[in-house]
Each structure stands twice: as structure tokens, then as C-alpha cells.
Structure 1
Amino acid sequence: MGDYQEKDITIMSAAEQKLTDAEIIAAELGAKKAGERIKWLYETYGDRVMASTSFGLQAAVMLHLISENAPKMPIAFVDTGYLFPETYKYLETLQQRFEVDLRIYNPKLTAARQEALHGKLWEQGEEGNTKYGLINKVEPLDRAIKEIGADIWISGLRRAQSSTRKDRAFAEQQSETIKAYPILDWADAQVNVYYHMHDLPRHPLEVEGYITMGDHHSTIPATEGMTAEDTRYGGQKYECGIHLDNGNSDFQI
């Protein structure tokens, strides 16, 4: 054998490895069903957890799941001031249907003031759209998280919604906040079945061909051959900023 010395090789078990909080949460959620995921998060982390809603096409699913499994969980809604009239009506319908702790946040600049100072930002290319997202979505949600005091944020994001989301884990770290996705693995068909099973109201614009929902100036109904990405921001992008760790604010979204 000469001078050869056999080196000790240590194989660490999963329990011995230093997993991040996000990785631990992701593993727990992956082994549960959607309702169980929400219930476990709230029972385990309590006041550290909040949810968000946009009152979009699948909003009723998440609101129903939260009302059934963690009704005291705070839910933040960012009202950009540029939503479709039908979205505001849908909000009223769902708010009457579910007993949840809904908290509404607005941008610091009203729509009229923004346009007076900056013009129509959504018509000003990538830079304008980025600034629009920061003013109307990122900052208000950042403020909601800080005021609520949460460091775990539950979102209804799903892998099936777009190519930018297909590789997401059930939980991930974004700056100081952990984002968790209870229905991440749901296909569109599963969402539809849930609506039918629980007789949930649909967004009024769904019947008009909308397959995604956002502000009225950046969302169009789908025509034949269009993907979800094609119906937002003229097909140039899908994410508005709140689901991207892009370094544009103190809360990296």
C-alpha cells in the first residue's frame, strides 16, 4: 500500500445538513395538500405569516383555502388604482362571501398624481414599466409586509401560469422574506375542479377571454394561439416585479 493513507469520508444525512428555513418549509409543503400547507404554515409560524391577493382569476380559490384553514391570517391586497371595474366588483363579491382579514394598501401616489408627474409610465418602455411596478405594486406590498410584521408571505403563484414560474420551489427566500406557494403544483384543470366543487364565483372577465388578470392598461383577452405571457404588457414580459428577486427595493421583489 506504500504511503497511501485512506481518507475518512463522511456522508451527512439530511438532518445533519444545514438546511435554510426556506428549504425546510419547502420540504414540509411538498408532502402536504394545499389546505394542509396553509394550516401548517399558520399553526407553525403564526403572526409571522401573511398572504396576498390580487382578486384575479383564481383569487376565490386561495381565499376559500385560507378561510377554511387559517381564517385569522392577514391578507394584503394592493389596489393600484388601475384595475378593471370588474375586478373591484369581484372584490366586493368575494369579501362578502369569505370571512377573512383583508387589508387594502394603495400606492403613495394616486393615479392622477402619477400621470401628472410622470405621464403614463406603462407606455414608456421597459424603464417606465419597471418604475410603474415599483410605485404601484412593489412598494405598497413591501409596506404591507412591514406593517403586518410578517416574514413569511403566502402567494397563489402556480408553475402552470408561465414559463418564468415552472422551476419554482414550494418556498424560497427573497431578501428577508420567505415566499410560500400552497397551490404551486396545481394545473389549470385542478383550479377549475376546485371552483366547481365549492361553487365559487368566477371573475367576470373570464367569460370574455381573459386568461390572466392585471391592470386594465396592460392586460388583454387571449385570442387563438396566445399564451398567458402574450396577454400581459404587450407580450414583452409577464412578471410585474413582485414575484422577482430583482433588487429594486428594500424588500427584494
Structure 2
Amino acid sequence: MTTFETNSRIELQDRAHGLCARYDGETAEGTLNGVLRQDFPGRVGLVSSFGTEAAVLLHMVAQIDPYTPVIFLDTWKHFPETLAYRDQLVEQLGLCNIQNVTPRPAGLQADDPDGDLHARNPDLCCHVRKTLPMLQALRALDCWITGRKRYQAATRTELSLFEAQDRWIKVNPLLDWTSGDVADYYQTHDLPAHPLKAQGYPSVGCAPCTRAVAPGEDARAGRWADSEKTECGIHFENGKLVRGG
């Protein structure tokens, strides 16, 4: 790493720490309003899986600026229910700038010609189908919004409100929300539930790598079940999980 790259990374980390201090105690809506309209106008997007809790941030963003880029990674391995839910929320919330990002066909042909890479090497599958397309989708942005929350998994307990990852600032407006907070928001704003939630899927990813969760299990226990994998890779920097700072 060059001195310039080192200094740039330090500056980005300092900015993330400064934003954490400035927005400490702010509501999720207040944080989003500041990020979208003051700190990164025209240079920020929401990365959404259109999963079981996604409607909260999608609704908040739609209320502030429906033209905010919403990036959806279409891995071509999603449940049909997720794709239908995406289309339903886009229409209901009036979202005007949905970016459906897909893997590069040449990359799939090289690494996953038979479509079974998820069973042989799930990390590489996520890299090809999620991480690489994500990096391309974020090129025009300086900041991206995620729906990660501390309660969801042990790997997320140390989340910060703002983080520095590679050359981006990442913001987690709902980091302190609980499942009860999410449920209350859905009810208050009459938001539709993901079709798979009632079938025991509190967290939904790609169909081959997601199963229903038994009562009492971690909300993300159904993701890459029976393996040590816990994250898809888009929240990694230089191969290491970004836990916050």
C-alpha cells in the first residue's frame, strides 16, 4: 500500500469516526436525512436485499428522496418470492431508481458454468455473484446504506453507525434496532411482510443457501447452515470482516 493510499484510508476512517460522533443519539430517519441531503447528496445509495426486514429502510428512503439509488444484487439464485416482493415494494413505496445488478456472464461461465458453485465453494460463489457486481455498482458513490443490525448475529454485535470500507463510508442507521422495533415499524406504516417470513425465514438470501429457522435459533442460522460461513462477502475489506470501529 502506498503512502497516499494509507493516508486516504486514515482520512476516511477519521471521517467515519467524526460522523459517528455527530450523529450519536440521532434517530434512523434523522441519520438518513442528513446522509442523503447534507453529507453525501447525489453520492449515496441504499444496498437492499429486499429481505424480511428490508421494507423499513426502503420506506424511510422513499419518504426522503424516492430517487435515491437502491441497489439490488440479483444473483440469479434468489427465491421467486423475493423477486415478487421486490416488485411489490418498488410499486407500493414509489421507489424511482432501482438498480438490479447482476453477475458478469463471463465470470459465471468461468467460475460457475454448471450453476453449482454454491455447493462446492460458497465463498467463491458469493464473490462472483455478489461482491464483484457490488463493487461495480458502487463505483459512482461515496457512501452506501445498509440494513445491518447488532442483534442479528454474533458477527454484527460490534457494528458502528458509520464505517470506512475500502474507499466508501458505510452507514448502518438501524444498528440498535431490535426485531420488535422492526415489527412495530411494519405495523405503524402498514408495510407488507416478505412472503417467506411466515414460513420460518427471518433472514432470506439465495435459495440454495437459505433454510427455515427453528424456534430459538439465531435469526441468521438459516444462512449457509451447517457451515462456518456467516457473511456473503460484501461487508469485507481486504478479505477481513468489517465489524465497525
TM-score (norm 1): 0.83
- The structure with the largest alpha-carbon Rg is 1
Deviations 1:81-101 (A, max 9, x none): 000010011011101111222
Distance 1:234 1:183 in 2: 25
Deviation at 1:232, TM superposition (A): 1.1
Match in the other structure for 1:215:
206
Closer, same or farther: CA 56–19 of 1 in aligned 2, 3 Å: closer
Number of residue equivalences? 226
Distance 1:74 1:134 in 2: 22
Deviation at 1:218, TM superposition (A): 0.4
Deviations 1:161-193 (A, max 9, x none): 111011011011111111101111101100000
Q: Structure 2: give runs of 5+ residues left out of the alignment.
A: 1-11, 241-245
Match in the other structure for 1:32:
26
Deviations 1:17-65 (A, max 9, x none): x971111122233221011111100111202211111110011111101
Q: Is residue 140 from structure 1 mapped to residue 133 from structure 2 by the alignment?
A: yes
- 1:117 counterpart (113, 117, 120): 113
Distance 1:114 1:98 in 2: 38
- Mapped contact 2:108–2:128 kept (Cα < 8 A): no
- Mapped contact 2:13–2:164 kept (Cα < 8 A): no
Corresponding residue SS for 1:117: coil
- Mapped contact 2:20–2:162 kept (Cα < 8 A): yes
Match in the other structure for 1:129:
122
Q: Structure 1: give runs of 5+ residues left out of the alignment.
A: 1-17, 249-253
Deviation at 1:71, TM superposition (A): 2.3
Corresponding residue SS for 1:58: coil
Overall identity of the aligned pairs, in %: 31
Distance 1:19 1:75 in 2: 24
Corresponding residue SS for 1:214: coil
Q: What RMSD over aligned residues (CA atoms) do the two structures have, in Å?
A: 2.1
- Mapped contact 2:152–2:218 kept (Cα < 8 A): no
Q: Is residue 199 from structure 1 mapped to residue 190 from structure 2 by the alignment?
A: yes
Matches within 5 A, 1:1-253: 20-44=14-38, 45-100=40-95, 101-109=97-105, 113=109, 117=113, 120-124=116-120, 128-146=121-139, 149-236=140-227, 237-247=229-239
Deviations 1:145-169 (A, max 9, x none): 11xx111111111111111011011
Distance 2:127 2:209 in 1: 15
